[in-house]
Every structure is written in structure tokens, then in C-alpha cells.
Amino acid sequence: MEFLRPASWEEALAVKAEHPDAVPLAGGTDVMVELNFGHRRPERLLDLGRITELGEWESDGPAVRLGASVPYTRIMEALRSELPGLALAAHTVASPQIRNRGGVGGNLGTASPAGDAHPALLASGAEVEAVSTRGTRLIPIDDFYLGPKRNALAPDELIRAVRVRRAGGPQQFAKVGTRNAMVIAVCAFGLALHPESRTVRTGIGSAAPTPVRAREAEEFLTGVLEEERCWDTGRPPPPSAARRFADLCSAACSPIDDVRGTAAYRRRAVGVLARRTLGWAWQEHRGSARVTEGAA
């Protein structure tokens, strides 16, 4: 196995262009496990550890340009107000040790439906900055996930950053696992209210072959909030609408039975999470939310 260790981003892109089969390695929380268990034996590893700008973030107009390797710990600590949904999701990633190493770039590169960042990115609205020696393209997050562990990156592209829309309203993230910490999602749900555009976006994890949005649910709720003048009055959507929203979120799932949970359970649980997160988000929108200690 060849271990390539470029000193700069340009060099990394050149290496990736020359060796499209080279597997990028950043935090290593996915790749090293696969290597250790012999699930994967790439000819080349492309270590991005020396490229410091991948660990930085900056403001980029209405978005935060989040370097691919910014560790989850930093997201939790530093980006709670700008990216609250992603910060909540970061808090549920594995253990403190893993959160110190892993970043969103790895989640996107692996593109597992169970990646914790995906529902938050889908709900916030984001673009993946995919770069090659040919140039830079911004892939909308909605077009990024193609299948189980398949994404829209070209073989010669690396993830430089993800541009996540700065929160204009409350965001929530909740994840079901069979223990109270350090667990892979049985299913997960992200919700973002966007008062500026009077819209709602969602993201569902681990309940379909890829992370997905519940578009019908979003449209339904957006419509209800408009019709009921919720944005203007601050009144919550009627309970029947919240239930309908939850049902539509469940319906957006196409889950499987596996060792972590049943399809039926996932569908049901996504509905419960949708209803609850909507309640919390709306409470916050009205300024009456309570602090959640221990969460981001």
C-alpha cells in the first residue's frame, strides 16, 4: 500500500488526478476501521492530515464554509449558533475521541445512510465543494447522495469544504439508537425552520438507501404554516397538521430490516421524531424554548 502525504491542497489534487483510486484519509474514523478489519485494501492512501486549511471554517455570505476536516468537537463548541442542527448532530457522533478526529468531509465521502451529519445538512441546505485539478464545483446536497455509500464525487475530486446555509431559524436534530450514547443511528431526523423564506426543510438518516428529505412533508407543513398564518402569529401549527407532517415524514422512508432495527420501527420512529422536533423548533421560534443541557 502506497501512503501519499501531500503537503498542500494543490499537491493533493494533483495526486488525486494522477491516482483516482487513492482513498482520502482525514480523521480516519471510517477508513482505518475498514483497513484494520481487511474490508478494504486500497492500493493508495491519500493522507490529508498536513493540509491545515481543511480544518478551518469561515463565513461565506449567507453560508458557513466548513472545512472538510473540522472535527465534530469544534462544530459542537464553535458553531452552535450558526449551524445549530449540525452542532446537535455532531454531539451524537460516536465518542469524544472520535469526535476529536472525525469531520463532515468523512461523512460525505463515505456517504453511509447512517452518517450523523447528513440529516442536518439536508435540512439546513448545503453545497459540497468538490475540487479537482479541473476546477471547483458546488454540488447541492440534494444531489449529492446517489446510493448506499455512493456519492456524486468524480473519481479525481476531493471534498474541500461544505457550505452550509447559516441558520435563519430554529433547527433540531434527533437520533434513535439502542443505547444512550456512542451508537450508530437506527434512524435520525433533522429539521430546520427557515422563517426568512417561510419554508421548512427536513433530513432523514438511516431509513432509506441514502439520506433523504421528506419533500411532501415539507411542502405540506410549509403550506399549513402559511394558511394558518403561523409565521405571522407565532401560533404553532394545529396538532392535526403536526400529526400529518409526522405521517408524511414516515412515508418518506424506505427502510429495511437489519440487525439494528426493523423497517416498521424506523418508519414509526421517524414520525415520532418529526413530531417532537417540530414542537421543539416551533417553541424556540416563539422564543419559549428551554435550554437543553448536555446537548449542543
Partner 1 sequence: MTDLTEGHVPSVIPGVRSEAARRAAVLGLPTRFTQRAGNVGGVGESVPRPDGVLKVTGEFAYSSDLWHEHMLWGHLLRSTTAHAEILSVDVSEALATPGVHAVLTYDDLPAEVRHYGLEIQDTPVLAHRRIRHHGEPIAAVAADHPEIARRAAEKIKVEYRELPVLTDEKSATAPDATVLHEDRTDHHAPHVPHPNVVHRQPIVRGDVERAAARADFVVRGEYEFGMQDQAFLGTESGMAVPAEDGGVDLYVATQWLHADRRQIAPVLGLPEEKVRMTLAGVGGAFGGREDLSMQIHACLLALRTGRPVKMVYNRYESFFGHVHRHPARLVYEHGATKDGRLTHVRARIVLDGGAYASSSPAVVGNAASLSVGPYEVDAVEVEALALYTNNPPCGAMRGFGAVQACFAYEAQMDRLADAVGMDRVDFRRLNAMSQGSVMPTGQVVDSPAPVAELLHRVRELPLPAERPWESGGGGVDVRALPGGLSNTSHGEGVVRGVGYAVGIKNVGFSEGFDDYSTARVRLEAAGGEAVASVHTAMAEVGQGGVTVHAQIARTELGVTGVTVRPADTRVGSAGSTSASRQTYVTGGAVKRACELVRERVLELGRARFGAAQPGWSSEGLRLEGGKVVAGDGTVLAGLAEILGDEAVEVETEWRHRPTEPFDRVTGQGDGHVQYSFAAHRAVVDVDVELGLVKVVELACAQDVGKAVNPLAVVGQIQGGSTQGLGVALMEEIVVDRTTGLVRNPSFTDYLIPTILDTPPMPVEVLELADDNAPYGLRGVGEAPTLSSTPAILAAVRAATGLDLRRTPVRPEHLTGG
Out of 108, 111, 273, 278, name the contact with partner 1 by CB under 8 A. Answer: 273
Per rule CB under 8 A, is residue 264 in the interface with partner 1? yes
Out of 53, 265, 285, 286, name the contact with partner 1 by CB under 8 A. Answer: 265
Report how far residue 135's alpha carbon sits from residue 137's, in angstroms, rounded to the nearest whole number: 7
Report how far residue 114's alpha carbon sits from residue 203's, in angstroms, rounded to the nearest whole number: 12
Per rule CB under 8 A, is residue 98 in the interface with partner 1? no
CA-wise closest residue to 195 among 163, 164, 174, 226: 226
Report how far residue 98's alpha carbon sits from residue 107's, in angstroms, rounded to the nearest whole number: 12
Number of residues assigned to the chain: 296
Per rule CB under 8 A, is residue 32 in the interface with partner 1? no
Out of 61, 135, 233, 259, name the contact with partner 1 by CB under 8 A. Answer: 259
Angle between helices 117-124 and 84-91 (to 10 degrees): 170
Per rule CB under 8 A, is residue 207 in the interface with partner 1? no
Cβ distance to partner 1 smaller for residue 16 or 99? 99
Per rule CB under 8 A, is residue 290 in the interface with partner 1? yes
Per rule CB under 8 A, is residue 293 in the interface with partner 1? yes
Report how far residue 285's alpha carbon sits from residue 144's, in angstroms, rounded to the nearest whole number: 30
CA-wise closest residue to 83 among 159, 168, 151: 168
Per rule CB under 8 A, is residue 92 in the interface with partner 1? yes
Cell readout for 67 is 472545512
Per rule CB under 8 A, is residue 100 in the interface with partner 1? no
Report how far residue 8's alpha carbon sits from residue 158's, in angstroms, rounded to the nearest whole number: 13
Min CB(227)–partner 1 separation in Å: 26
Q: Given the rule CB under 8 A, which of 19-27, 58-66, 119-127, 181-189 is the region that contacts partner 1?
A: 181-189
Interacting residues of 268 by C-beta distance below 8 A, sequence separation 6+: 250
Cβ distance to partner 1 smaller for residue 196 or 293? 293
Cβ distance to partner 1 smaller for residue 149 or 268? 268
Min CB(59)–partner 1 separation in Å: 27
Report how far residue 71's alpha carbon sits from residue 127's, in angstroms, rounded to the nearest whole number: 18
Out of 280, 284, 285, 286, name the contact with partner 1 by CB under 8 A. Answer: 280
Residue written as cell 404554516? Answer: 225
Per rule CB under 8 A, is residue 184 in the interface with partner 1? yes
CA-wise closest residue to 89 among 127, 55, 121, 59: 121
Q: Given the rule CB under 8 A, which of 14-22, 48-56, 160-168, 258-266 is the region that contacts partner 1?
A: 258-266
Per rule CB under 8 A, is residue 288 in the interface with partner 1? no
Residue 18 half-sphere exposure, CB side, CA atoms within 13 Å? 11
Binding residues for partner 1 (CB under 8 A):
36-38, 88, 91-92, 172-184, 186, 259-262, 264-265, 267-269, 272-273, 276, 279-280, 290-295
